């Protein structure tokens, strides 16, 4: 039987960077999918933004911006942008803004097939680095935003 994930500020403080990200991601997805009847409305907006950034990163690294927009349309876009701004990932934010414009203006022919206009955005995304480092730095300065009472 699955158990509700609980952690404290102390647990986050002593966690390695990898475990820190994992704990918060697990809790955010637990809330997103309402696994135990609670949802992200009980969390600080930083938690929803964290989840949105993780989803973006997983999807783009797995199948590019095409995959991100195919699977999520613009569902996470607002939270991705505000989250990237929050953590100071300006290069990523600018890139995502441009990708959103392409997605909104793309030809209907690309709704179910790969849009080559995203290739340059994918390449740029893959060459950027530091987003997770910025996320970790933000979390380490703001543990209270990731605690669910």
pLDDT digits (tens, 9 = 90+) for 77-104: 999 999 999 999 999 999 999 999 999 9
Q: Give the per-residue pLDDT at 131.
A: 94
DSSP conformation letters of 111-147 = GSS--GGGHHHHHHHHH---HHHHHHHHHHH-GGGG-
Please state which architecture CATH assigns to domain 9-146. Up-down Bundle (1.20)
Q: Give CA torsion, residues 141, 60, 19, 34, to 10 deg.
A: 90
The pair of three-digit structure tokens given for residue 94, joined into one six-digit string: 């600018």
Q: Is 0.85 topped by the overall pTM?
A: yes
Q: Give the per-residue pLDDT at 66.
A: 93
For residues 99-124, average pLDDT: 92
Alpha helices by DSSP H, 17-89: 17-32, 45-72, 77-87
Q: What percent of the chain has pLDDT over 70?
A: 99
The pair of three-digit structure tokens given for residue 43, joined into one six-digit string: 């969390």
Task: Summarize pLDDT for 40-77 with one digit per residue, the tens.
Answer: 999 999 999 999 999 999 999 999 999 999 999 999 99
pLDDT at residue 2 tops 90: no
CA–CA dist 129, 113 (Å, integer): 28
What's the Cα-to-Cα distance from 56 to each of 9, 60, 68, 78, 79, rounded to whole Å? Answer: 26, 6, 6, 12, 10
- pLDDT band with cut points at 50, 70 and 90 for residue 112: confident
Q: Give the per-residue pLDDT at 124.
A: 96
- pLDDT band with cut points at 50, 70 and 90 for residue 145: very high
Tell me what the pLDDT averaged over the chain comes to. Answer: 95
CA–CA dist 58, 6 (Å, integer): 24
């Amino acid at each position: 039987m699955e158990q509700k994930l609980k952690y404290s500020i102390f647990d986050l403080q002593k966690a390695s960077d990898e475990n820190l990200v994992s704990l918060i991601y697990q809790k955010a997805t637990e809330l997103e999918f309402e696994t135990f009847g609670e949802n992200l409305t009980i969390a600080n907006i930083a938690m929803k933004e964290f989840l949105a950034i993780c989803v973006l990163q997983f999807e783009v690294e797995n199948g590019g911006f095409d995959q991100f927009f195919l699977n999520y349309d613009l569902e996470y876009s607002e939270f991705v942008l505000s989250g990237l701004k929050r953590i100071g990932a300006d290069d990523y934010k600018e890139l995502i803004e441009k990708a959103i414009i392409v997605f909104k203006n793309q030809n209907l022919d690309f709704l179910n097939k790969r849009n080559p206009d995203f290739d340059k955005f994918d390449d740029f995304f893959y060459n950027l680095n530091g987003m997770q480092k910025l996320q970790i730095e933000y979390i380490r300065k703001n543990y209270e935003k990731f605690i669910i009472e």
